[in-house]
Amino acid sequence: MPSEPSPLADQPLKFEAKNLSRSFGHGKKLVEAVKNVSFGIASRDIISIVGQSGCGKTVLAKMLLRLETPSSGTLSFNGKPIGNERDAREHWRSVQAVFQDPFSAFNQFFTIRSQLKSSFKLFKRKPEEEEMEARVDAALMAVNIKPKEVEGKYPFELSGGQMQRMLLARIFILRPQVLIADEPTSMVDACSRANILDYLMKLKQELDMTIVFVTHDIGLACYISDSIFIMHEGEIVEQGPPAQVTGSPSSAVTRQLLDDIPDVHRPWIKRGALD
Ligand SMILES: Nc1ncnc2c1ncn2[C@@H]1O[C@H](COP(=O)(O)OP(=O)(O)OP(=O)(O)O)[C@@H](O)[C@H]1O
Ligand SMILES: [Mg+2]
């Protein structure tokens, strides 16, 4: 008997890539950063892109963000090709990112608060002054920072962990449909790392977001994801739910990544996968 179609079956995928590639340079200097990848990302899923340094994770993430243009293949968002919007800001209202280095995302010469407020420039209709102030306060509180703590402060006056939380506060203000988080935890200690993951989960729950998480660490990826893409030399060599990818890895790359998991993250992998 045919199985019942899932109620979500006719929802368009958030992202859909078909034979997507991005290369740089040519001739002897050709770098095929992303090679012929195809995938779908369902609405409200958390997916992780996992792989070793230089395998193409950031280039792929930047294509999802419309910060890199594909060399070939197709990439769509909500059923429409990315890059066809009249204004790139239209895409950035829906798809936002937090990157590895929070300091590079803020201008050193302006206060944190004024920069959080300037996020509203992306909106089609800027709220009233009072509402903007209230929303900045609410976003700061959502990441456990008392608005007074950052009053009048510049980025260099905060720690790396606090700045990561400022990036997340920006996300609370912008409320995008999709968050791309590229190694957001690699600059901070283990305690702040756990906090950042907790904030990501809170964001997902409160804003009903789709999250694309980029990491070297397959343990971390298993802990938070519905689905994992394993990348190697520009290709997606394996994709599926964490239990499948770690329980019966079909590629040597996945097995190597499993061997490389930091010991503290080992309990996050289903028993059996590492035996
Ligand atoms: N603008 C660019 N011009 C030329 N080559 C590039 C450019 N951006 C990326 N590359 C190359 O593409 C490949 C993939 O880079 P990418 O930044 O996506 O790696 P990654 O998987 O994110 O690595 P890491 O884990 O170290 O961040 C690398 O060989 C890199 O040197
Ligand atoms: Mg990268």
Residue whose token pair is 């195809």:
38
pLDDT exceeds cutoff 60 at 136 = yes
**Residues shown for the chain:** 275
Burial class (CB in 10 A: 0-12, 13-18, 19+), 49: buried
pTM of the model: 0.88
Measure 34 CA to ligand 1 centroid, in angstroms.
9
Residue (of 114, 80, 116) closest to 95 by Cα position: 80
Measure 56 CA to ligand 1 centroid, in angstroms.
6
Distance between CA atoms of residues 70 and 252, nearest Å? 28
pLDDT of residue 4: 52
Task: Indicate the pLDDT class of residue 191, thresholds 50, 70 and 90.
Answer: low
Query: Which residue's CA is the nearest one to ligand 1's atom 13?
Result: 33
Q: Does domain 15-107+178-268 have CATH number 3.40.50.300?
A: yes
Measure 194 CA to ligand 2 centroid, in angstroms.
20
Mean pLDDT over residues 194-217, rounded?
Answer: 86
Task: Indicate the pLDDT class of residue 96, thresholds 50, 70 and 90.
Answer: very high
Dihedral angle at the C-alpha atoms of 235, 95, 190, 136, nearest 10 degrees? 170
Whether residue 232 has its Cβ less than 6 Å from ligand 1: no
What are the tens digits of pLDDT across the range 253-270? Answer: 999 888 887 776 677 665
What are the tens digits of pLDDT across the range 143-177? Answer: 889 999 999 999 999 988 888 889 889 999 999 99
Whether residue 33 has its Cβ less than 6 Å from ligand 1: yes
pLDDT of residue 271: 44
pLDDT exceeds cutoff 60 at 197 = yes
**Portion of the chain with pLDDT greater than 70, in percent:** 89
For residue 219, count other CB atoms closer than 10 A to its CB: 23
What are the tens digits of pLDDT across the range 114-133? Answer: 999 999 988 888 899 999 99
Mean pLDDT over residues 87-110, rounded?
Answer: 87
Residue (of 92, 89, 91) closest to 81 by Cα position: 91
Tell me the three-class secondary structure of 189-239, residue by residue: CHHHHHHHHHHHHHHHHHHCCEEEEEECCHHHHHHHCCEEEEEECCEEEEE
What is residue 9's DSSP assignment?
Answer: T
pLDDT exceeds cutoff 70 at 273 = no
Q: Which of 7-16, 101-110, 220-229, 256-265 has the highest mean pLDDT?
A: 220-229
